[in-house]
Amino acid sequence: MSIPELRAEIEKGAQEEISKIIDNAKREAEAITTEATTKSQALNTERGKALEREMETQEKAELATLRMDLKGELLKLRSKLCDRVFEEAEKRLAQIAERGGKEYNELLIKLTLQGITALSGKNFVVQANSGDVKAIEKELKTIQEKAAKIRNEEVVLRIESQPSKSLGGVVVSSEDGTRSYNNVLEARFSAAKRDLSWEVYKTLFGEEKD
């Protein structure tokens, strides 16, 4: 074989080998690309799902926070409405005490007798605001008679003006001042508010507290 023929044969073989190498490289590149694409898609899908889960969790948390905020505002509003009911009731109570009259005088008698019944002894001091002192003094005989029947003994009352101003009612104390029974209207109203707040809530909203 001549040199040119040999050279041509070598070049042909080399060209075939180069083609094989290129084909193999292409196949490997395609395989690598396909694998990389598959992994990338899987990774993107997983990241997408993770992102969706994260967004869903965040939305749920924000919604829960919003619900709690709204619930808190609703409870505040309901509490204010309940307070307004008691504020109005207290105003009316003050108006009744200020007007006086037979019905209120009967209440003063009842409040005084409650204090006397709650304490021991037979000598008591009854303190009230200046307006109620006058009413109690007018009803003093009736109060003493009723108290005597309750205690089965004669009861002696001393009527005094309260050092501090109140809406009305009385504070009944033992003569030595060691024991007392607070029956002023503010104290009675405060106790009624504690006892009736739940009933007022149900009346206003017709449901149980959350």
Print pLDDT tens along the chain (210 aa): 555 554 555 555 556 666 666 666 667 667 666 766 676 666 667 665 666 677 677 767 777 777 777 777 777 777 787 888 888 888 888 888 888 888 899 999 999 999 999 998 899 999 999 889 999 999 999 999 999 998 899 999 999 998 777 889 999 999 888 999 999 998 888 888 888 888 887 787 776 555
Instruction: Please name the residues in contact with 191: beta carbons below 8 A apart, sequence gap of 6 or more.
Output: none
Supply the DSSP symbol for 158.
E
Q: CA 198, 200, 202 angle in degrees (round to 5)? A: 70
Task: List C-alpha distances in Å: 191 to 95, 187, 195.
Answer: 19, 6, 6
Whole-number Å distance between alpha carbons of 87 and 156: 37
Length of the chain: 210
Q: Name, in order, each residue with C-beta under 8 angstroms of 165's C-beta and a sequence gap of 6 or more.
A: 129
pTM above 0.85, yes or no: no
DSSP 8-state assignment for residue 162: -
From start to end of the chain, where are the E strands?
A: 123-128, 156-161, 169-174, 180-184
